[in-house]
Amino acid sequence: MFNKKLLLVLLTVVLFINLSCPHFSYTSNHINDTEYMTNNYTLPEEKEIRVINNFIPENYEKVCESELLDIYINRKTLQMKIKDKRTGYVWDGTKEYEQVENENLNKTYKNMMQSPIVIEYFDKKNKLRKADFFSSEGVIKEFSNTSKGVKAVISLKAIDIQLSVHIELDNDRVSVTVPSNEIIEGKEYKIATIQLYPFLGAVKENNIPGYIFIPDGCGALIRFQEKGNRYDSPYVGRIYGIDEGISKKSIQANKVEPYQVTIPVFGMIHGTRQNGFVSIVESGEYNADIVAYQSGVITDFYWTTTTFVLREQYFQPTSKTMGGINTYQKERNNNDLKINYILLANEDADYIGMAKKYREYLINKGYLYIDKDLIESNIPLRLEFLGSEETKWLFWKKAIKMTSLKEMNDIIDDIYSYGIKNIVTIYRGWNKGGLHSNQPEKFPLERNIGSKKDLKVVKENLKEKDIPLYFYIDYTYAYKTSSLFSTRKDAARKISGDLIEPVLHNLQKTAYYISPKQTLNISEKDMTKYREYGIDNLAIDKTSNILFSDYNKLAKSTRKEAATVYQKLVSNYKDNGKEIALYTPNQYMFKSLDNYFDIPLYSSRYLFETDTVPFLQIALHGYINYFAPFSNYSASKEEALRLVEYGANPSFYLTKEPSYKLKNTASKYLFTSMYDDWKDTIIDQYQFVNNGLKYVINATIEDRQVLDGGVVKVIYSNGISIIINYTDNDYIYNGQVISGKNYRVFGGE
């Protein structure tokens, strides 16, 4: 009996080794275009062998099945395997002892890889320790069937912790849930983090071809590679950004921070267009990390999972001079922990399939919907204007005018006269004192940009042309105390009791975060003013992507509660007939969104990343109107091509006055913005992008093929496809020439 099992294992192992013999190196013959074979682009797919794994040990039993999947579970350990009936492929939720015993792993990792659950906990001395099912003497106390799957109660005796795991199956979706109220802790040991089936699909080096997808920027892949250079640490991305209510944001001089994780999604592929899964964290995502380990970081395995954070460690200062103690959150984050694994097979099994599944998820959740029956014939152009900004002047502060209302009006008229009719306008720095001055106090309008009357004139003019005018605001930062904002009552506080004072790049003044619970008061007061001034549309920055827990005793809120408040804030405005645009919003803000500004077009380009992919774009195109970040800083051909490839609408940040006037202000990063300098480029770039994207305005991205290094074909739902050629050389596709640094639209017309 045992021999038979061993034989089977051996057979699979041998099969594996044989099949994975041809090594896949990504240095191809296109040497001159090595630049396009880097992680700033997507690599062309290589031919891959068929991956096979159909081994299910005998101590597993099928506990539930759908038309597409079977779930097998070992009742004694809750180890899991998922069989995809479409391909016959078996996903190892956990590894078997035989699979890890000969690996170069320490005992902890050998245990962890076999365990359905990995926990970090604080011991009596506040020390963080790791535990898994085996090392902490886990037993399945209870095992029962539920309507859609099974429920198991796990007791980890050694650390006196008990929790229940619900596994449910629905068509192609496996969900794993740990309800918060079913987590029972003893007195001594407190849970810090939980990982569920962390080694689902873990791959050693490149024994199986494929990759991990992580939501870094617009999306990035970590392809499985053979041993090469080793990197120091895994990818860890806190979903919705660092919680500044607890942790300090580490900010380093002269560095541009990596992208924040705005969507709770990750995934893995075993054999491109063969097998894969995409994971969507549905609950508990407000306090969770997405992690991805590369082969070489601690183990030889590639693996990816979500770390749910139940208690966070933090530093409690006791004096001004850095003295203090390390401690952890006393109260547990009370959220159910839930991940959905959607399994992908055959042609759906790649990052495109993942994005499409995520799109479906968003539609089902009501986050995405088509509400515009209006059909545009040209893509929109986003023009942002800086009205005025605060500067130091001799001994005082004053607002310097950069673009008055009237000047903005003239510029729009000018652009309009060149036949660019679909414009989205955003006005910044309209508030009293200039952009970074009195917020949250905003009214009256800053004197040097014009009066209420001027605003009316501008509005009428834009209305005639059907151009929306957005006013730039945020409900997160406060620069000045006023009747609207007092630091005692309205400012957010850290868990340590200190005020959250976000570090403002190059701004030599203190700023605070507004307590989420107080933002509704402020916004209500603003609402009447908006009405009075005729401010119809709002472009909300920062509040759209900064999320923190607040320990202000008068207005305490968790991240989840804060997110709800922000959702309400936006939907209130929406109910009042205002259009809302958000800057790089986190997923929970997708709901009431008319325009998405500053969509990431790149990844953070970590050394271990091998590709950048437009995951976010594939998920959103056709549903949400999204705009690229400003092109002022890099209005090159390559940037324009990237806009076309990613379906992103062009954006510019403009002023009437020359930008050097901003040198001593908080807007000093805006070193090139004068309209007269930029006019020609704006028109050129818009025409260039519009000529391609105007054919696919309401279509969704259905497929994407990298034909060669730097040559990409994007296929839209309306039958149109665009081939983009980043290289300097012509590319011939089906007898058609796509010239270097250009693109071509196929189909339609």
Partner 1 sequence: MRLSKICTIIIVITFMLLINPISIYADPPYTTVTEDRNGRLVYTQTAYEPILIIDNINTEEEKITLRDPEDIFIDKEDNIYIADTGNGRIVILDSNRNYIGSIGEGILKEPTGVFVHENKDIYVADYRNLKVYKFNNNGELLDSFGKPDSPIYGKNMPYKPKKVVVDKRGNLYIIGEGSTNGVIQLSSKGEFLGYFGPNSSKFSLKMLLQKKFFTEEQKAQLIKNIPPSPNNIAIDKNGIIYTSTQGIDNQQIKKLNVAGRNILNSKSYASKTIIAIAVDKNGNIYSVNQHGYIFEYDRQGNLLFSFGGSDMGDQRIGLLKNPSGIAVDSSGFLYILDKDRNNIQVYKPTDFAILVHNALNLFHEGLYIESQNLWGKVLKLNSSFDLAHKAMGKAYFKQQKYKEALIEYRLANDKQGYSEAYWEIRAQWLQANLPKIIILVIAISIGRVILRFLSKRYGFGRGLKRKMKKVKEIRIVSELLLTTKFLKHPIDSFYSIKFEKKASILTATILYIILFIEYIFVISNTNFIFSNVDIINLSIATECAKVYVPLLLWVVANYLVSTISDGEGKFSDVYKGTIYALSPYILFSGIIAVISNAITLTEKFIYHFSNQIIIGWSALLLFLMIREIHNFDIKKTFKNIFLTIFTMVIMIFIAYILFVLSRQVFDFIQGLLQEVKIRVQ
The binder of partner 1 chosen from 318, 486, 571, 739 (CB under 8 A): 318
Residues 149 and 73: their CA atoms lie apart, in Å, by 11
Three-state SS for 597?
strand
Least distance in Å: CB of 232 to partner 1? 6
How do 469-473 and 537-540 pair as beta strands?
parallel
Least distance in Å: CB of 632 to partner 1? 9
Question: How deeply is 516 buried, as exposed, middle or buried, from its count of CB atoms within 10 A (0-12, 13-18, 19+)?
Answer: buried
Least distance in Å: CB of 473 to partner 1? 15
Least distance in Å: CB of 251 to partner 1? 6
Stretch that binds partner 1, among 24-32, 121-129, 174-182, 381-389 (CB under 8 A): 24-32
Query: By CB under 8 A, is residue 598 in contact with partner 1?
Result: yes
Closer residue to partner 1 (CB): 228 or 534: 228
Closer residue to partner 1 (CB): 102 or 229: 229
Least distance in Å: CB of 107 to partner 1? 27
Look up residue 370 and give its amino acid: I
Query: By CB under 8 A, is residue 378 in contact with partner 1?
Result: no
Neighbours of 443 (CB within 10 A): 16
Query: By CB under 8 A, is residue 636 in contact with partner 1?
Result: yes
Query: By CB under 8 A, is residue 17 in contact with partner 1?
Result: no
Residues 706 and 645: their CA atoms lie apart, in Å, by 11
What number of residues does the chain have?
A: 749
Least distance in Å: CB of 320 to partner 1? 5
Least distance in Å: CB of 661 to partner 1? 9
Residues 679 and 656: their CA atoms lie apart, in Å, by 11
Extract the tokens encoding 600: 């990431």
Query: By CB under 8 A, is residue 740 in contact with partner 1?
Result: no
Least distance in Å: CB of 231 to partner 1? 5
Extract the tokens encoding 182: 């079913």
The H or E element containing residue 625 is strand 625-626
Least distance in Å: CB of 623 to partner 1? 23
Residues 575 and 565: their CA atoms lie apart, in Å, by 15
Stretch that binds partner 1, among 335-343, 360-368, 664-672, 692-700 (CB under 8 A): 664-672
The binder of partner 1 chosen from 59, 108, 564, 672 (CB under 8 A): 672
Query: By CB under 8 A, is residue 584 in contact with partner 1?
Result: yes
Closer residue to partner 1 (CB): 168 or 598: 598
393 to 397, 399, 400, 479: CA distances (angstroms): 6, 9, 10, 18
Residues 133 and 139: their CA atoms lie apart, in Å, by 8
Residues 261 and 548: their CA atoms lie apart, in Å, by 14
199 to 114, 117, 203, 351, 394: CA distances (angstroms): 8, 9, 9, 20, 62
Least distance in Å: CB of 653 to partner 1? 10
Residues 556 and 700: their CA atoms lie apart, in Å, by 41
Neighbours of 486 (CB within 10 A): 12
Residues 40 and 24: their CA atoms lie apart, in Å, by 20
Stretch that binds partner 1, among 113-121, 465-473, 499-507, 689-697 (CB under 8 A): 499-507
In the numeric block, the tokens 């075993």 are attached to: 270
Question: How deeply is 103 buried, as exposed, middle or buried, from its count of CB atoms within 10 A (0-12, 13-18, 19+)?
Answer: middle
Query: By CB under 8 A, is residue 334 in contact with partner 1?
Result: no
Which residues have a Cβ under 8 Å from the Cβ of 371 and sit 6 or more positions away?
none
Closer residue to partner 1 (CB): 131 or 212: 212
The binder of partner 1 chosen from 59, 180, 247, 316 (CB under 8 A): 316
The torsion angles phi and psi of 133, rounded to 5 degrees, stand at -55, -40
Least distance in Å: CB of 672 to partner 1? 5
Least distance in Å: CB of 694 to partner 1? 25
Least distance in Å: CB of 386 to partner 1? 13
Stretch that binds partner 1, among 124-132, 364-372, 388-396, 522-530 (CB under 8 A): 388-396
In the numeric block, the tokens 């774009």 are attached to: 617
Q: Mark residues 604-623: x for contact with partner 1 by CB under 8 A, - for none.
A: xxxxx---------------
The binder of partner 1 chosen from 143, 231, 328, 733 (CB under 8 A): 231
- Contacts (CB under 8 A) with partner 1, residues 35-94: 35, 37-40
Closer residue to partner 1 (CB): 34 or 145: 34
Q: Mark residues 239-278: x for contact with partner 1 by CB under 8 A, - for none.
A: ------------xxxxxxxxx-------------------
Query: By CB under 8 A, is residue 553 in contact with partner 1?
Result: no
Extract the tokens encoding 712: 């990409």
Query: By CB under 8 A, is residue 108 in contact with partner 1?
Result: no
Closer residue to partner 1 (CB): 230 or 463: 230
Stretch that binds partner 1, among 116-124, 444-452, 585-593, 670-678 (CB under 8 A): 670-678
Closer residue to partner 1 (CB): 418 or 633: 633
Stretch that binds partner 1, among 191-199, 316-324, 473-481, 518-526 (CB under 8 A): 316-324
List the beta bridge partners of residue 645: none
Extract the tokens encoding 657: 């006055």
Neighbours of 500 (CB within 10 A): 23
Strand ranges, E, within 88-156: 89-92, 117-122, 128-132, 138-145, 149-156
Look at residues 146, 30, 142 and name the one whose alpha carbon lies nearest to residue 78. 142
Closer residue to partner 1 (CB): 137 or 226: 226
Cα end-to-end distance, the chain, whole Å: 67
The binder of partner 1 chosen from 47, 124, 125, 320 (CB under 8 A): 320
Three-state SS for 185?
strand
Query: By CB under 8 A, is residue 317 in contact with partner 1?
Result: yes
Query: By CB under 8 A, is residue 126 in contact with partner 1?
Result: no
538 to 148, 572, 623: CA distances (angstroms): 44, 12, 20
The binder of partner 1 chosen from 177, 544, 659, 725 (CB under 8 A): 659
Please check whether residue 618 is in contact with residue 701, taking contact to mean a CB–CB distance below 8 angstroms.
yes
**Dihedral in degrees, nearest 10, Cα atoms 160, 164, 165, 170:** 180
Per-residue DSSP letters for 298-331? SSSEEEEEEEEESS-EEEEE-SSSS-EEEEE-SS
Least distance in Å: CB of 634 to partner 1? 5
Closer residue to partner 1 (CB): 2 or 396: 396
The binder of partner 1 chosen from 91, 189, 479, 630 (CB under 8 A): 630
Look at residues 104, 106, 96, 134 and name the one whose alpha carbon lies nearest to residue 10. 96
Q: Residues in contact with partner 1, total (CB under 8 A)?
A: 67
Closer residue to partner 1 (CB): 131 or 222: 222
Helices (H), 84-210: 97-100, 107-114
Least distance in Å: CB of 41 to partner 1? 10
Query: By CB under 8 A, is residue 32 in contact with partner 1?
Result: yes
Which residues are near partner 1 by CB under 8 A? 25, 27, 31-32, 34-35, 37-40, 217, 228-229, 231-233, 251-259, 316-321, 323, 391-395, 497, 503, 505-506, 508, 584, 598, 600, 602, 604-608, 629-630, 633-634, 636, 658-660, 663-664, 668-669, 671-672, 674, 677
